[in-house]
Structure 1
Amino acid sequence: MSNYPDSYYAATANRTQDYPKLTGDLSADVCVVGGGYSGLSTAIALQEKGYNVVLLEAAKIGFGASGRNGGQLVNSFSRDIDHIEAHYGTDTANALGKMAFEGADCIRDLIERYQINCDYKPGGFFAAFTDKQMDELSSKQQLWQRFGNDKLTLVDSSSIKNVVNTDAYVGGLVDEHCGHIHPLKLALGEAKALCSIGGKVFEQSKVTNIVELSTCPNNSSKVETEHGSVTAKVIVLAGNAYMGNLEPKLSKKSMPCGTQIVTTEVLPEALAASLIPSQYCVEDVNYKLDYYRITADNRLLFGGGVTYGGGDPASIERFLKPHMDKIFPVMKDYRIDYAWGGDFLLTLNRLPQLGRMGSNTYYTQGYSGHGVNTSHLAGKLLAEAIHGDSSRFDVFAQLPHYNFPGGRLFRVPAVIMGAWYYGLRDKLGL
C-alpha cells in the first residue's frame, strides 16, 4: 500500500518531496483523514481560514483515485440536475445546479494561486454514437445553460473531425468549461500548497482508530495511527474508496468500483495532434463509457470500463486496447507503455455523500465517477460548514442515502445486473 501503482502518472510526476510518518502526539483544530483531492482541498480551505490543520495519509499523497484517474475536469454530478429535480424537487435541483460547475473553477483557482504545474489544458468533449445520444446532449446543453454554463457548443458530423479525428461518432457537445490535468501532479501540488501556508502533512500514517474524548474541551476526538495520534476539535473523513472499514456506517452506503487506464508510447507529434486536433479531453456518453486525451508529452491516454467491487481485470491492456483501436484504427501499430487501475466509490443513487457524524466529525465520499471536480467542491463546502456557514453543505447533507441492498455480500451482483442492462442498451442504441 505504500508505493504508487506503476502508472504513467507515477512515472512522470517528478515527485520531489516526501512527507514524514506521524510519530508522537499532536494537537490541531482539524484532523483530515485522507490525502486525496477531498482531504487536500478541505485542508487548504480551512488552513486559509486560519485553522491549524493536520492531514493524515495512509500511503502517499494521491495514492488512490486522485493520483490514478483520467485527469478530466467533468462538470455536474454523476446524476445530472434534471434527475435531481425529478427525484428531490425543484429547490434542491436549483441549489445543486448553482454548484454544478464550481468544482472546475476551484481547481483552476488553486492552480493559479499556488502556481501548480499539472499540465492543465482547457476544454472537453462529450461524444455521441447515435442520433438518440445527440438528442440527449442537446437537452444537456439547454439544461446546463439554465444554470450558467454558457460555454457549450453542439458539433455535428460535418465538423466533428475538427474536435476528434474518428469516424466512430455522429457528433457531440463541446464544453469549454471542462479541461484536463495530470492528476498526480495536481495532488502533489496541493500538498505542497497546504504546507506552504502552515498545514502539516503526514504520509504512511494509516488511521487505526478514532476515539471521542467527551471529557476534553470542545468535545475533541483522538485520531490514532500505529505510531502516533492527533487530538482535534474537528475530524474530516475523506478517504473515499480507500477508507476501508474505518467507519462501517459509511462503507455500508457505498461500493468501491475499479476503472482502468492505458497510455501509449510517445507518439509522433503530428500524429498526436491529428488524433484530437482540439486538444480537448473526450468521453463518450455510453453508460459504461470510454474517456481519453493526449498527454503533455504526446501519448494517448485511454480509460474505461468498470469492475464492480473494485480491482482490475486479468489484463488491462487486452481489455482496453480494442476500445482504443476502434476509435483510432491507426493506434493498432503503437505500443502500450503503461496500464493501471484504481477504485472510485459508487453510491446507490450516484450522488455525493456529504454529512456529519456525532458532534464533531464530517465526511465526504461517493462521487461515483465524477470525483475530480466534485471533490474540490466538497472541500470548499466542508470548510464553509466547519467555519460556521453550512447552508450549501446542508443541501448535500439532506439528500437521502441508503445502504446497498443485501449488504456487502450481494451489492456487487446486484449492481452488475443493472450495469449489464444499461450496457446492453448502449450496444443496441436504445
Structure 2
Amino acid sequence: MKPSPLKVTSEIGRLRSVLLHRPGKEVENLTPDLMARLLFDDIPYLKIAQEEHDAFAKVLRDNGSEVLYLEDLAAEALEDRAVREQFIDEYLAEANIQGDGTRAVLRDFFLSMDVKPMVLQTMAGVRRTELPREELKFMSLADRIDTDNPLVVDPMPNLYFTRDPFATIGTGITLNHMRTETRNRETLYAKYIFNHHPKFKGCDVPFWYDRTETTSIEGGDELVLSPNVLAIGISERTDAASIEKLARKLFSDDRSTFKQILAFNIPKKRAFMHLDTVFTMVDRDKFTIHPEIEGPLQVFSITPSCCGINIEEERSTLENVLAKALDIPKVTLIRCAGGDPIDAPREQWNDGSNTLAIAPGEVVVYSRNYVTNQILQDKGIVTHIVPSSELSRGRGGPRCMSMPLVREDL
C-alpha cells in the first residue's frame, strides 16, 4: 500500500496543498423559504461571491499552495460508470425523495450527463423545471403530492465551506457525520474521493471517524495544534460522544502521533457554531479569539490510559491551558476587534476570529474585519486580505472555506 499523500500536523505549518469548492449554482437555488433549513441567514450574489472566491484561491496559489477543487476531484473519482451509478444511488437515497417515480427519473437524469456536469448538478440540486416534462408521469401518491415544490432535490449551498465534511488530521481524515441532514450529504463526495480517486486509492489513509457513526462531528470544530495535540469543540454541531470515539481511535492506532485532545465546551448557539468561529491559531504562540470564549469555559484534557482514555477537567486560564499543551512559556490571545463592545460582535458576525494560517504568523483574513485585521498587524501578523462582501453571508471565514491536505512540519 502506498503511503498517505496527506500530512497536517499543525494549524500554522506552511500550506502546500488545499481543497476548495468554488461557489456554484447551488447558491442560486437558495430561496428565502429555504434559508433556515439550509443554514443560511442571507443569499449571496453568486457572481461576486465567485470573484471573491477566485481572489482567495489566487492568494493561496501566489503563496505556494496547490489549490484543488472538490468538484474536480469528485468528477475524477467517478469516471468509472459503475462507481458513478453507485454514487447516484447513494446520493438519491440520502436526498429524502419519497416518490419512487421521482427517484427513477432523477437517476436517469443524472446518469445521462457527462461526469463533471453531473457532479455540479448534484451539488446544485434539481429544479422541477429541469426534468423532462414528458417523464413527469409519476404513479405514487408521494410523487403526486410533492409537485408544488419547485425543487425536486435541495441544493448544497454550504459546500464552499470545505472545512466541515471531512478534516485532515496527521496522515488521515475524519470523514464526518454532520449535524444536519442537508449537510450530511456533503460528506458523500469525500467518501468517493478517498475510496476511488487515483490520488488516494490504494494509499494508506486512515479514517479516524466515519460518516456512518450516529453522533455528529464537523471539521470546523477540529484544530490541529501540534503533532501531539488536537483541540476539538463540543458545540452546536459536534457531540461529546464523537470526541470520545475519535480519541479512542487516534490513541490506539500506530499511524497516529496524537497524545492529547483538548475538548472545549463552547456555548451552543449560532455565534459559536464551531470552535474555529471563535478561536484560531495564527502563530506558534498566538491565537485569535472571540472575547466570550475566555471564560468561564470548560476545557477537558483527554489522554490515553491503560484502559482506553483518561478525562480530566483543566482548571486554569485559557492561556495557561494552551501554553501547557504546546509546551511553551506563554501564549497571546488576540481578541476580535480588541473586545470592543460594538466592533467585536459586528466583526465576529463576519468571522473576524476565523483566520486561515498559510505559514507561522501569516494569515488570510476578510477585508470587512478591518478593526481585527489592524490589531493582527500590530501584533506582527502578516495579513493577506481578501474581498468578502458576499462570501461572508454564509457565516464562514477563510478557515471555513479551506481544507488543508498538506502542510510543512514546523
Give the alignment's TM-score, normalised by structure 1: 0.23
More strand by share: 1
